[in-house]
Amino acid sequence: MNEYVIAFSSFYRAVYAQEKLQENRIESTVKRIPPNVLKTCGYAVHLKTNSIHTAMDILDQSQIIARGVYQIEYENGMIRYRQIA
């Protein structure tokens, strides 16, 4: 299972996205965007899934636009965020 963060411009958009994902049985949490991901303030939905495409389809159908989608990778004890959308 892979880990992802989906970035949003506001706390409220992130919470709305989380609600839509949870309605579709995709567990997620809302967290602040790490400063090394985006230079501006914002929030992200953090989730673990085998199919990020399913989560993104749910958000697209709900007309929720993300600022970016990042896969979390662990390498030599470091966390790396690789942008995938």
- Token digits of residue 33: 């965007």
Model pTM score? 0.90
How many folded domains does the chain comprise?
1
**pLDDT value of position 18:** 97
| Closest C-alpha to 54, from 31, 30, 29, 25 | 25
Q: In what order do the strands lie in the sheet with 28-32?
A: 28-32, 43-49, 2-8, 68-75, 78-83
CATH code where residue 37 lies? 3.30.70
Q: How far is CA 36 from the centre of its chain?
A: 15
Tens of pLDDT along 33-55?
A: 887 777 776 899 999 999 899 99
Domain encompassing residue 40: 2-83
Mean pLDDT estimate for the chain: 92
Inter-residue contact 70 to 22 (CB < 8 Å): no
- Cα 30–Cα 33–Cα 85 angle in degrees, nearest 5: 95
